[in-house]
Each structure stands twice: as structure tokens, then as C-alpha cells.
Amino acid sequence: MTARIFDENRKEWIAPEESLPEEETLLSQTAGPFAMNQHIPMVRQQLSEWRVYHDVDVSLSAALREPAVARLDKRVDPDGQNLITSL
């Protein structure tokens, strides 16, 4: 895998001498040869605020999007199934 970065001094794309291991992401290398690009800190800050949930289905047919009955309970059921609605 060859990663290239834009060298703002030379105004061209270059491939750093150091290789990028396949198990590493490009952003994990921002302390190395990629740190010379002035846009990296801003992009890294933006991406650090993202959250990715791999196991949450949010497709149009997901159960999460199905309508649900909302209710307010005054007592917790013996099995505790309504704990949240009673708080």
C-alpha cells in the first residue's frame, strides 16, 4: 500500500520514504511524515468528534425506526421491564 501526501512546499503529491503498515490508518501516522501538511490537525480534530457504531442497524427497515408506544408507569413491574418508563 502506498500512501501519498500533498507537500505544500513543492506543491505536489509525494510518497514518504516510510511505509504505511496495512493494519494502520493514515490518520494514525499524522505524527510522522504526514504531520507536515497544515490541514492534518484540522481534519484529525473533526474526525475525533465522530462516533461510529458498527452494530447499530439504522437502515430504513431497522427495528429502531419502528413506531413504539410511549407510556408512563408509576410502578416498576416485578420483572423490571418497565424500569426506564417508571423513572
Whether the CB-CB separation of 40 and 25 falls below 8 Å is answered with no
Question: How many domains does the structure of the chain reveal?
Answer: 1
DSSP letter (8 states) at residue 26: S
User: What confidence tier does 32 reach under pLDDT thresholds 50, 70, 90?
Assistant: low
- Rounded alpha-carbon distances, angstroms, from residue 20 to 14, 25, 32: 14, 8, 10
Question: What residues make up the domain containing 75?
Answer: 1-87
d(CA 35, CA 16): 11
Predicted confidence (pLDDT) per residue in 37-59, tens digit = 677 778 778 878 888 888 888 89
